[in-house]
Structure 1
Amino acid sequence: MTHTPILPTVEIETGANPTHAVIWLHGLGADGHDFEPVVDAFDEAALPPTRFVFPHAPTRPVTINGGYVMRAWYDIVSQDFSARREDPEGVHQSAAQIEALIARENARGIPDANIVLAGFSQGGAIALHTALRHPKRLAGVLALSTYLPLADTLAAEASDANRDVPIFMAHGRDDGVIPHDFALKSFAQLKQAGYPIAWQTYFVEHGIVMEEVRDIEQWLGTVLVR
């Protein structure tokens, strides 16, 4: 069995002896520090003691950026949203790395049922991909400004344990990186497949706004049950 190294991470704990965890993946070209300010904006009293884990993606060449090496969860091989854009090998590698982070939280005393996978853009794609195939029930999936990668393989690979995992998808109406309507197709596919999924649109481009932060906080409060 191949050992998957643990990615370097940034961690924030909202209380002593965390009982819950949120593993939150950044977008293309960013790093684990990107969403630290969001935790600062949360009302910690609204959540149980939670460890927020922000991994740094590995660096790799990204085809659509002229092969420039940057932090990326997978290569994006095409700008064409009507074709497969994501590199399957990269998706699978990143999913294995996120599984290793889940296992580390288990080893630190946090069960799968108390773990949310979250992510923005590329990170959200990996969160969705990994969670829906994870063999044990998770607390939820937070998918921001993103889409479902390798969508054609989900039906065959989906884990029965997470067929009822709560999913919160949010997207900017004016997103010029991942078009709003393209993300809506992922939402529709997941809803059609029976997942309990919520969708919210915000007046923003490829980013998040404070209204969205408040909605995320409220949603986390419902899935991170004390």
Structure 2
Amino acid sequence: MTQQLLPCVEINPSTAPDACVIWLHGLGDSGHGFAPIVPELKLPDSMAVKFLFPHASERPITINGGMRMRAWYDIKSLDFESRADLEGVKESAEQVEQLIKAQIESGIKAERIVLAGFSQGGVIALHLAPRFSQKLAGVMALSTYMCEPALLSSEALDVNRETPIMMAHGEQDEVVPVFMGNAAFKTLNECGFKATWQTYTMQHNVCMQELNDISAWLQKLLN
């Protein structure tokens, strides 16, 4: 292992895990932010799913006056085309890839691993999964968008083209406008990926109906 793995909040099932969900938080949050949703998903014990909620490194954020906070990449501008800093995205995607590979080395098969992300975390998930060299169980991209969508067609690998990608967004999202999420959804499908799209009456957050839908999706995927 060439670098230290990202620190994580880890929630283990009561029996030895045979599946894993790696869930990436949004800007300024940490792995602790989404960890409380695990019991809300009400997954049956028989599924034996481990959840990992990694912490992004701290870095200065340009649009926040250079304030340091946990972030997967810098945001230099709110422009649709240049919101995500590609170099930062690549760096974080590499760190998450190492985390996935560590789970595979621990005995969990790649096709039993779900990569999930909210907002900035979703950007990393949508960047990494189409370029990852092993087939994953699924991808969950919540209230998010895509970094440099024009690169996808030339950089994507075939191995995850059939992998289910669940995309969900709030109709009243003022942080990441819904059109940005929908644009990412369209780009994925144009490039031959199997993405689905769902909107909810909410802002830049998650709601109970969305959690219920996530639970059903995970149960279908991993049972």
Q: Could you tell me the TM-score, scaled by structure 1's length?
A: 0.95
More deviation, 41-50/211-220: 41-50
Q: Report the CA distance between 1:59 and its aligned residue.
A: 0.4
C-alpha separation between the residues in 2 aligned to 1:94 and 1:134? 14
Q: For 1:162, which of 160, 163, 178 is the aligned residue?
A: 160
Using the aligned pairs only, state the percent identity: 49
* Distance across 2 between alignment mates of 1:90 and 1:143: 18
3-state DSSP of counterpart to 1:21 = strand
Give the letter for the 1:91 counterpart.
V
* Equivalent pair of 2:43/2:219 in contact (CA under 8 Å): no
Alignment of 1:80-119 (within 5 A): 80-81=79-80, 83-119=81-117
Give the partner amino acid of 2:222. Answer: L
- Supply the distance in 2 between the matched residues of 1:27 and 1:126 (Cα, whole angstroms): 10
Q: Distance in 1 between matches of 2:94 and 2:133?
A: 13
Q: In 1, distance between residues paired with 2:218 and 2:122?
A: 16
Match of 1:180 among 159, 163, 178: 178
**Of 42-51 and 128-137, the range deviating more from structure 2:** 42-51
CA distance in structure 2 between the aligned counterparts of 1:99 and 1:69, rounded to whole angstroms = 24
Task: Report if the CA contact (8 A) 1:46-1:221 is conserved.
Answer: no
Where does residue 189 of structure 1 map in the other structure? 187
Cross-structure match for 1:36: 35
Structure 1 unaligned regions, length at least 5: none
1:12-161 equivalences under 5 Å are 12-45=11-44, 48-81=47-80, 83-161=81-159
Q: Distance in 2 between matches of 1:155 and 1:184?
A: 17
Secondary structure at 1:162 match in 2: coil
1:12-36 Cα offsets, whole Å, 9 max, x none, are: 1133100000000000000001111
| CA–CA separation in structure 1 for the residues paired with 2:83 and 2:207 | 27
SS in 2 for 1:17: coil
Q: Distance in 2 between matches of 1:186 and 1:84?
A: 14
Report the alpha carbon displacement of residue 47 of structure 1 after superposing the two structures with TM.
6.2
Moved more, 203-212 or 180-189: 180-189
Distance 1:218 1:25 in 2: 20
User: Whole-Å Cα distance in 2 between the matches of residues 44 and 222 of structure 1?
Assistant: 11
CA distance in 2, matches of 1:4, 1:84: 29
Counterpart secondary structure, 1:44: coil
1:96-125 C-alpha deviation (Å, 9 max, x unpaired):
100110111012110110000001000011
- The 1-side partners of 2:187 and 2:14 are apart by 37
* Cα shift at 1:67: 0.7
Show the counterpart of 1:201: 199
Q: Structure 2 stretches of 5 or more lacking a match?
A: none
- Mapped contact 2:110–2:135 kept (Cα < 8 A): yes
User: Aligned equivalents of 1:149 and 1:176: distance in 2?
Assistant: 18
Measure, in 1, the Cα distance between the counterparts of 2:148 and 2:6. Answer: 23
